[in-house]
Amino acid sequence: MKTQKEGAGVPESAAFLRLMMMASPAFPVGGFAYSHGLEQAAADGLVSNGADLADWLAALLVHGAPWNDAVLLCESWRQAEGDLAPLAELAEALAGSHERHLESHSQGAAFIAAARAAGFAVPLSLPTRTAYPVAFGSVARFQGIRAIDAAAAFAQAFVSNQIQCAIRLSVLGQAEGVALLAGFECRILGLAECAAASTLDDLGGAAFQAEIAAMRHETLHSRIFRS
């Protein structure tokens, strides 16, 4: 069984490769199945082109669930050698709708299973039923990955997945999507820097349209995503 000390002494190059693996679409967490309410926003006409998507994502990174996820990720990194259950419970309480809860916890469980399959050290106190950012941050700590780097990779993966969802929804094309992702580099790095210096007192959000879209998606008649 992996112990809490096995993440210590991981070479920097190996830690970098592990972070790339954890944030890769090839890591089987099933992120492609979730749109984080974007499908509903597209159906409502709130996001109909690349400019709309850029505004939508910019608001999410500052005021939405991605900010809270980054704060929770960094806090789970700091508490990785302690009791993670209270933090996991807090993350669960912050899921604002049924589908957001499904999105985060399904990916969290899949992430933990994949990390163990890859032979990564996993904190002993990490509940199997855990929100994705809590799982990601605590496991990252045991791979010798810095919190700021883990938060940046997590946010980058979120933005990339949102762009892929938008492409599947015919909101924009692949070339425009790549350009949009490149344009978010400074925003993602800024988010990671702020999150790494945050505490749980910094949790909070005001992305009301995104939260409402996530709730309304539960009754969307024709859909291709689970959230």
How far, in Å, CA of 227 to CA of 220, rounded?
10
User: Does residue 4 surpass a pLDDT of 70?
Assistant: no
User: Does residue 9 surpass a pLDDT of 70?
Assistant: no
How far, in Å, CA of 106 to CA of 186, rounded?
29
How far, in Å, CA of 122 to CA of 139, rounded?
5
Q: What single string gives the DSSP state of each residue in 110-145? A: HHHHHHHHTT----TT--SS--HHHHHHHHHHHTT-
For 110-169, what is each residue's pLDDT tens digit?
A: 999 999 999 999 999 999 889 999 999 999 999 999 999 999 999 999 999 999 999 999
Categorize the per-residue pLDDT at 8 as very low, low, confident or very high, splitting at 50, 70 and 90: low
The whole-number pLDDT of residue 7 equals 53
| pTM of the model as a whole | 0.94
* Alpha helices, H only, 7-146: 12-23, 38-43, 50-63, 65-78, 85-93, 98-117, 132-142
The whole-number pLDDT of residue 5 equals 41
> Do the Cβ atoms of 127 and 135 come closer than 8 Å?
no
For 66-77, what is each residue's pLDDT tens digit?
A: 999 999 999 999
Mean pLDDT value of segment 177-202: 98
Categorize the per-residue pLDDT at 3 as very low, low, confident or very high, splitting at 50, 70 and 90: very low
The whole-number pLDDT of residue 113 equals 96
How far, in Å, CA of 197 to CA of 190, rounded?
11
The whole-number pLDDT of residue 217 equals 97
How far, in Å, CA of 91 to CA of 69, rounded?
8
Categorize the per-residue pLDDT at 10 as very low, low, confident or very high, splitting at 50, 70 and 90: confident
Mean pLDDT value of segment 195-209: 96
Q: What is the mean pLDDT of the chain?
A: 94
For 84-104, what is each residue's pLDDT tens digit?
A: 999 999 999 998 899 999 999
3-state percent helix, strand, coil for the chain, nearest multiple of 5? 65, 0, 35
29: number of Cβ within 10 Å: 26
The whole-number pLDDT of residue 215 equals 96
